[in-house]
Structure 1
Amino acid sequence: MSVRLPLHRSLFLAVVTLLAGCASAPGKAPSSPSLNALYGQLDTASRGYENALRLAREGDDQASQKALTAALDQLKKASAQCDSTPGCEPQRFYAVFDRLLRLKDGSAIGDEGLETAGESTSPEGQAVGAAGLPEAQRSVTLLHGQKLSELIAMNGPVKAALEMWLTQWRPNLMDAWVNYQYMRFEMWPQYEKADLPEAVLFGIMAKESGGKVHAVSRSGAAGPLQFMYATGVRFGLGSDSGFDTRFDPADAARANAQYLNEQLRVFNNNLELSLAAYNGGEGRMRRLAGDRPQVSFYDPSVYDELSQETRDYVPAVLAAAWLFLHPQSYNLRFPKVDGRPGQVTLKRAASISELTVCLGNAGDMPEGWFRTLRNLNPRLDPEMQQPMGATLYLPKALESAYASRCVDGPWPILAADLHNAVVPKPEAAAPTAAPAVSSGRTRRYRVRPGDTLISIVNKLRCSSVREVAEVNHLRRHQIRVGQVLTVPGCR
């Protein structure tokens, strides 16, 4: 059971124990009766809020909600008077807002992150997934016995990253949330086994790939959690019958959890340094931290020596994790997603692309199901037809849509017609000028486990991705282990 606490930014000016004596700080003018009265209202409201949390812990939902409503009304009244009350310091209210969220993490039975993640139910009506586990609260909010809310410092860089996620990066955050919900049944158990918070997993994934399983960076990092090949091999990721398991959501989450726990041991459970190691390299972070187990990521001797990418990366991950835990507290509402896993046995041959066309926007998915189907079937070429009788994985809610839309009727016929369309090529195309870096000579390269087209071009230092793709007639830059590529030589 979880209790939703819908606090909005307008209420945050008046929160938790603003303490009767906070107006008499040293060096300040004596408090006025009106200011003392205002702080008295805040104190009453904060005690009401804490009482609501207590009632929630005791399981009295009705009384808890009543106490919460009364406390929020009191908070509204007090916050509205701050601007007109001489001596009232709004900045103190913002500081208390942060304290409120940390209090909620440590006091409430449920957690906004868990509730908005969605608690699925089995056909028998029993709760399944992380939200249905007795230790779910602990798993989400603790990292090796430490409250996650106490490990995330609400400093300038994290606040700036929060603003980015809520503004320019907001579409990426929402996409990451939806993608994660459909893969949650595969990824979250790996983190749970490793005793790591789900919020951190979401934060890393949101920043690394946005939940796109087949993402590949310019440097060759691959998968939803963007492992470099050598690091992936170290943690059990590699080739499985020609498939790069960095693209497998469950395997990637397992390896990521192992890596993060390794770095947490090295850096004395310092989450910020461990995340910096994941992004900037553990060797570099060990040299910078040295034998200082308590050194801060923001210590100039560390922070100033890092790349701008790493200085931005760590706060961005922490900010995404914080929003995962407290979406409504930042005027953010993630969509409800039914992430229960399902599968279908194909009644007719079809590719993932064809299924995307015939499913349309079933289940109110305006962007279509291509990304989700790819994420849930990472080993399949989306353009390759799978034979009748093959098993494909999809959200359980789509099983009925498949049966009604993709087996018979006009949509599968239309999808197949579009998929099999032939694009004519000019019979006598004029020769194009070769790139300056290429000559008439070519060389052969056999694809190795972990290779991508980008990494091969970077390794050979000649030609271009487009040129190699065209010479070898590659569709969507797809390559396979053991394939021999023709690579234009360098001058």
Structure 2
Amino acid sequence: MIVKKISLVVTALFSFSMFAQESAEFSREIKQDIKLSYLDSIKSTFKKEPLAAKVDSLWMNELVSLDIYDDLTKDIQTINKDVTVDEELPTELLKQRLAAMNEKSPFEIEYNQGLENIIKSFLKNRKKSFSRLMALSEYYFPIFEDAFAKQNVPLEIKYLAVVESALNPKAVSKMGATGLWQFMYGTGKQYALKIDSYIDERSDPLKATAACSEYMTKMFNIFGDWELVLASYNSGPGNVTKAIRRSGGKTKYWDIRNYLPRETQGYVPAFLATMYLFEYHKEHGINPERAVVKNFETDTIAIKNQMSFKQIADLLDMPQSQIQLLNPSYKMNIVPFYQGEQHFIRLPKDKIATFVSNEDQIYAYVKHDTEFRSTSSRLAVKYAPKAKPAAKPAAIDNSDYEFYKVRKGDNLGAIASKYNVSITELKKWNNLKTNSVAVGRSIKIKSEEPASVKTNAVIDKREEAIAAADDKEKSKTVDQDYVVAAGDNLGSIAKKFGTTIAELKELNNLTSNNIGLGKTLIISKASPIIEEPASITSAIASNSVDSFKKKASSKNIGEDYYVKKGDSLYSISKKYPGVTISDIKKWNGIKDEDIKPGMKLKING
């Protein structure tokens, strides 16, 4: 009996050992089948820092939103200081508070009916806006105060940025004034702010504030009165000196106000009303929204080679919009590299730590990614057959173009990025000589080459490969949605579906790497993955890795497509070979290019 038990135990142990060995071998086989992209293989070597900074996505939206700027600008330009506003604020109490503010300020803050009307108008119509502005001020005011203190400029002038730009570094006026302090092009150049195709330092909070501080100091040396300095900032020193002459030589703002331009007459009172609301917001029930990240929680690092915001976002697992938020002076979402000059990128401190600890790998990936894109473009040209010279230039067919109406805040770089084309192409299609483009203008974006002039052999070969793959039923499908299971994380899900963590976060609006069990993640639209023709694959093999296999979508009959954030009719048409923008408009009864996330489109219906 004992011998039987011992033999059973030995047999069980041996069987368990064999099972464990087979499981280990099976596990190794699975791991070998999961091929890491070059990006993920680089990131897998990164040294991780324990510090974690979370950026509230709602607060980020506030920083790049232009709605407060539009509302406040309209208010200041149209507000009538002579119209009485019905709002609960006793005049005597207001006089006491203004007197208390005057005691601790170099500004001449005195009560008048016009100022009371503007304060009451802001309280009645703009309470919510000021709550949001106070959240933004937690990020920007420390920058302003530091710059003003160095030049002995009154710290209260920080409130002027609220009046000028609603604390939005991307704000652009109808006249072209740009940035937090609304510098015109000429004024920006006068104060040594760099403005070129890649950079506009009028949108740089640090450099633009330093320039503003220098301007204020010079104007005070001329006028000797801070209210007149503010008036000159709005209408120019020439208009202020004219008003002084017309008033008979008076040198106080309140004495010459009626001789100033109409907008400037309400400009200084709007500044003082803003100062009052920031000082007494609690008394009026204005509860400031809190900013999650402060300026002192960020830092800068010098960039040694040109890199795009997308490359940085992919490498550091952060939303591209956050990089745009912290670096508003880069116009094309690219940090350029000029010989003999240094350019910096501002990032949260934990991302700075990751960048500094892994610089070699980061620059290696950027070089690889840039060379790969460049090589792919050159190959496309190389494989294209020579086009026969035409006797006469063909007339432009607008059916081959999509039209985009330029909105406030747009630039050629942003439009080119949205439609995945180059700035050079945009300028060529629209006969533009410079990078500036007027608000309201319709920009042509080429949707696709006409069938009669298709010359790209790579596309032809890819279509052949798709047809061959359809015949042999070699295509595989990728699920659009995925439900998070126990043990999952963004890294394992990204590897499973051949994507990156950054793309998953962008698709699902995630601000951190945390995902809940049972959450449904958007992966991508179900589509076949087709192997590239051997001739093309071998041509670019030396410049790519397994992760860079191309994906193409076959033209599915009667397929429904759900519009995602960032989609356009142009980008959707590119997902379906042979489908044009005109087709999608016809099938769905669309008259213009406006589509919204979540909208269902019929493809070849």
Q: TM-score, normalised by structure 2?
A: 0.39
Query: Which structure would you say has the larger Rg?
Result: 2
